[in-house]
Homo-oligomer: A and B are copies of this chain.
């Protein structure tokens, strides 16, 4: 499978890229700055320039020929910075449009737990949730993409357990490595298409959890 990773230089994006490469998938890591290439070159992962502030048409050219896109970019939830609006929302929507232009149907978007319920948005990163909310909604209602929206809880740098809980009721945390595993497993499990999947660490192996959705 040929997969393009948007936001590849982020903490989740690096793990997704590495895991895809380890699995033997063809992966291209979308990066914003040339100096971000080094990390990927060391691991023999191809890179391509991908500017989330660019135009959907340019993105479409870059995404041409891929089987799937995994969107892991994030401005990091800093407040007081319109990058939340321009990257987390507008950058995500333009990426969807780019995928559509390129004819790439499969689109996995990393969002945030409870993004769809504003009553549960934490005040401190409310702009980040708002951006995720509108991006998610665009993907659900304004595209024909075969989407999967992943909603991880609080992200940790643990190694992960490859076991998750997808009911989303209690909240909790999850290792970025497990979020990456879920993103990749989703590509191989058609049952995840058109689904929004809360992810916290749990007791169910990822593949089993995705089958039961």
| Closest beta carbon of chain B to A109's beta carbon, Å | 16
Q: A85 to B130, Cβ gap below 8 A?
A: yes
Name the segment of A43-51, A134-142, A157-165 touching the other chain.
A134-142
Closest CB-CB distance, A138 to chain B, in whole Å?
Answer: 8
How many monomers of this chain does the complex have? Answer: 2
Instruction: Categorize the interface residue count of chain A.
Output: 20 to 34
Proximity string of chain A (82-94) to chain B, C-beta cutoff 8 Å, 1 when within and 0 when not: 1011100110000
Q: How far is the CA of A90 from the CA of B85 in the complex (A)?
A: 11
* Nearest B-chain residue to A79, judged by Cβ: B82
Which residue from chain B places its CB closest to the CB of A56 in the assembled complex? B118
Contact residues in B for A134 (Cβ distance below 8 Å): 89-90, 134, 138
Q: In the complex the two chains form, what is the Cα distance from A137 to B97 in whole Å?
A: 15
Interface string of A113-145 (1 = CB under 8 A from B): 000001100000011001100100110011000
Query: How far, in angstroms, from A81 to B86 measured CA to CA in the complex?
Result: 12
In the complex, what's the smallest C-beta–C-beta distance from A49 to chain B, in angstroms?
Answer: 20
- Cβ of A55 within 8 Å of any chain B Cβ, yes or no, is yes
Q: Does A24 have its Cβ within 8 Å of any Cβ on chain B?
A: no
Which A residues from 39 to 93 make CB contacts under 8 A with B? 55, 79-82, 84-86, 89-90
> Closest approach, in angstroms, between the C-beta of A103 and any C-beta of chain B?
21
Contact B131 A142, beta carbon cutoff 8 Å: no
Residues from chain B with Cβ under 8 Å of A82 in the complex: 79-82, 84-85, 127
State A126–B142 Cα separation when bound (angstroms).
22
CB contacts (< 8 Å) of A118 on chain B: these are 55
| A contact set with B: CB distance below 8 Å | 55, 79-82, 84-86, 89-90, 118-119, 126-127, 130-131, 134, 137-138, 141-142
Additional A-B contact list (4), CB under 8 Å, known A82-B84, A85-B85, A141-B141 = A55-B119, A85-B127, A134-B138, A141-B142
